[in-house]
Chain A
Amino acid sequence: MSLRDTIRIMVVDDMSVSRALITQSLEEIGITKYQTENDAKAALGKIVAAPVHLVLCDMNMPGMNGLELLHALRTNKTTARIGFILITGQPTPELLRIGQELGLNNLIRKPFTTATMKASIERVVGPL
């Protein structure tokens, strides 16, 4: 069983289009164990209840944004070491700096392709 069959991913994005695009790419890669949430707070609850390996999360969302979710995960003992990839259209230096301090695992630049998404995930978890 390769990693792509076992890895569990949580996709968090408030826009259904983005979720659809992300999951489409995931399926093209061959990852099937993913779940989606449209709200970071709800995602946090789900992740705490049933941990995943990796979170793919949009930056700009109402309520709790991507980095806030990362912060929340990192400060919770049980979820502190979950992989976290932020998806953003504007990777400003400020955002990169904060991401690094919070232990962000990687960053995917919007718009992404299946290839760039795969590369970004592989740089975190190794070859799929």
Chain B
Amino acid sequence: MGNPILDTFFEETEELLESLAEGLESMQGAEFDKETVNSVFRAVHSIKGGAGAFKLNELVSFAHSFETVLDEVRSETLELTPQIMHTLIRSADHLTDLVDAARSGRSMPEDVSAGFLSALQACLGEGKIEAVDAWDNFEFAAVTLDIAPIEEPGAEAEGEAAPAGFSIAFKPHAALYANGHEPALLFAALADLGQMTTTVDLSAVPEWDDLNPTEPYLSWTIALRTDESEIAVQEVFEFVHGLCDLVISPLTDPTPPAKAEPVPEAKAAPAPAPQAAAPTAPAGPSATAEAPKAEAPTMSDRAAAAVAALKKPEKGDDAEAKAPKATLRVDLDRVDRLINAVGELIINQAMIAQRLQDMTSTRDDDLVMHIEDYRLLARDIQEGVMAIRAQPVKSLFQRMSRIVREAADATGKMAELVTSGEGTEVDKTVVERLADPLTHMIRNAVDHGLENREARAASGKPAMGTIKLSASHRSGSVIITVRDDGAGLNRPKILEIAKRKNLVAQDAELSDSEIDQLLFMPGFSTAATVSNLSGRGVGLDVVRNAVTALGGRISISTTPGQGTEFTIMLPLTLAVMDGMVVTVGGQTLVVPITSIIETIRPQPSDLHRIGTDETLLSIRGRMIPVVDVSRALGFPSPEITGSPLLLLVESEGLGECALVVDGVQDQRQVVIKSLESNFGSVPGVSAATVLGDGRIALILDPDAVAGGRSGYHMPNILSNAGRTAYANV
């Protein structure tokens, strides 16, 4: 577009739409305060204002109608019925569409907008929406300002630039001395600000006989020539505030003005009663009094009251506390360059540490310590940089409530979205790439998860179905769950479909969790008839692929009659991870720590051979399949003998399994370098990294290695078609 202000408008509008959605959501709740309605109104109003500046007329006219209805709600002339609430929410959705359309330079079909406009109009009953330009003919008699006041503060303001200064009248109270302050020190501080002429007023000093040594008699007039602002001068007197009479005024002419309070003539005056002058007299246009002002404001009570009336009701200071923190918009490329550089820094640190370790002859404890500091610093920097990319999932979750509404409307069900953990922060890319899979899962939950009204009524559930969406951090991962309170998975039906589609062998006996896993098979679709919503030929396998591409896992659990829960587990960041460096078949590999449960070296008697080339590990009363990593990756490898070193890993959907490795070298943070962008996709390998010694190590994908192993588990029960499909996952 080339117009940076327009770009800013769209960015800002996005934020406004978010706060609009948020506000409308809390308006749906039983309790909401007026400030919520105000913020909703303001959001729409601001969008309208900005859109007007860019002549986005479609947006302006819709926002205007929207705003009019909100204004009625705000002023409580319109009761907020569920019907109107619904219209408001759908209007917000439409506004979002209009903004998107405007951004891409499209325009929305007119009948769509017309539909929403008439819905808004219907909210107002007979009330009319005034035309957008209703106020175009406003009359306002501009009030002219005299040049004088303009110039006057100008001169003064300019004075800050040109050497000018202040006249300071300073008269200490007895308390000033009693508190241990010393005028000479204050003057010294003042002298630091500029050139100073001090005149002491001795007129108040009484005759010797009358002198009370505890009473202050002296006062000073100081002419200070300085470039500093009045604030700087006031700061000097900060600690004696209230302990003296202080008048600071701009220095107007070379002679120190006799503005200082006339010190009472003689007599053993005790500490003077506080004079009328405030301790800090403003430097404002006090010297401009000669400029007569015709339009000196007449502040009638009525006006004041009107202002109070115009003032939107506020909860008070809480509203301010919620004011957004200052933020900085940064080009994403710059952040990514920084992240990349930090990744290199980490690798570099690892290299130096490695070299140092190799130099066993020269032990330098200091150097070792410094290298350790370097490591911690590098990690701190990295965490800080990662935090820049982290975003709360809130915006993502907010979009989902719209999906639920639309899905519910399309299926004739009633559904609401309940979210929790919106503040959970995830890498920006994850948030973006999760939008589609999550949308799909939410639609699925409404479409397939929730029962229809009759079924819900029959099982005694409330008509309103609930979709729960939550996010949380758990041990270095982000957990996102989607849960519905529907009927749960219909396993017999799933199995039947899978058999009909030839995804499993006709005589296969599958456990419950195996049946659940079938949902993720390519080519599987549960809806008996393709619904107009989720059954678009896109199955959960696509969701799973998207999640896997992000280095995450997805799992499913269901309780018949109570609902189904999908859990997505994602790494916090896509740039680094903690990994265990292992050796397999002479190669160095990295296994993600998140998937490792434990490392064990079992007794030979705990390994059981099954058939020709299968091995099971007996551990704590369970049997776990053993996978030879080197064989899975195609390295030449001897038979498993004796007691190999095993990594017990949790694999997606397939439960635990044990990976055979030759040795464990280290556990460290590695920087993930994508293989796909530089080389190509390699089965069983998710990415690569550069180790401290400069060697490249592949990062193992335990799920792929475990899932792709021959024999024991899934593949056994899959028909050939299913096996092929599965291997392609």
Which residues of A line the B interface, CB within 8 A?
Answer: 3, 6-8, 14-18, 20-21, 24, 39, 41, 48-54, 60-63, 65, 67-68, 71, 74-75, 77-83, 89-92, 94-107, 109-112, 120, 123-126
Contact = CB atoms under 8 A, between A and B. Distances in A.
Interface stretch (B291-299, B331-339, B606-614): B291-299
Interface of B: 4-5, 8-9, 12, 38-39, 42, 45-46, 48-50, 52-53, 55, 135-136, 138-145, 147, 149-151, 153-154, 156-157, 160, 229, 231, 282-286, 293, 295-300, 302-304, 306-307, 310-312, 314, 319-320, 323
Contacts, number: 174
B194 to A, nearest CB: 18
Contact of B49 (A15, A68, A102, A103): A15
A109 B53 CA distance: 11
Contacts of A110: 49, 52-53
Nearest to A24: B5
B692 to A, nearest CB: 45
A91 B139 CA distance: 9
Contacts of B297: 74, 80, 102-103
A123 to B, nearest CB: 4
B5 A17 contact: yes
A3 B8 CA distance: 31
A96 B140 contact: yes
A62 B303 contact: no
A75 B8 contact: no
Contacts of A17: 5, 8-9, 12, 50, 53
B284 A91 contact: no
Contact of B154 (A6, A83, A89, A106): A6
11 contacts: A17-B5, A17-B12, A65-B311, A71-B299, A71-B304, A94-B310, A98-B303, A103-B298, A109-B135, A110-B49, A111-B53
A41 to B, nearest CB: 8
Given A17-B12, A60-B45, A80-B296, A91 B5 contact: no
A125 B145 contact: yes
A35 B613 CA distance: 77
Nearest to B231: A49
Contact of A90 (B55, B135, B320): B135
Contacts of A6: 150-151, 154
Q: Which of B50, B151, B302 has the most CB of A within 10 A?
A: B50
B154 A53 contact: yes
Contact of B307 (A68, A83, A112): A68
A70 to B, nearest CB: 8
Contacts of B300: 101
B50 A67 contact: no
Contacts of A101: 298-300, 302-303, 306
B196 to A, nearest CB: 23
Given A15-B50, A89-B45, A67 B153 contact: no
Contacts of A68: 307, 310-311
Contacts of A67: 307, 310
Nearest to A83: B145
Nearest to A41: B320
Contacts of B50: 15, 17-18
A88 to B, nearest CB: 9
Given A51-B157, A92-B135, A96-B138, 10 more contacts: A39-B323, A49-B231, A52-B157, A60-B45, A63-B314, A65-B312, A83-B150, A102-B299, A106-B142, A124-B142
Nearest to B141: A100
Contacts of B312: 65
Nearest to B4: A20
A100 B144 CA distance: 13
A77 to B, nearest CB: 7
B285 A51 contact: yes
Closest 6 CB pairs of A and B: A78-B284, A101-B303, A103-B297, A123-B142, A111-B52, A106-B142
Nearest to B297: A103
Contacts of A102: 297, 299, 303, 307
B12 A15 contact: yes
Nearest to B151: A6
Contacts of B306: 94, 97-98, 101
B52 A75 contact: no
A20 B298 CA distance: 33
A100 B140 CA distance: 8
Q: Which of B139, B285, B293 has the most CB of A within 10 A?
A: B285
Contact of A8 (B138, B154, B304): B154
B42 A60 contact: yes
A50 B231 CA distance: 10
A98 B143 contact: no
A40 B157 CA distance: 21
A103 B135 contact: no
A89 to B, nearest CB: 5
B299 A75 contact: yes
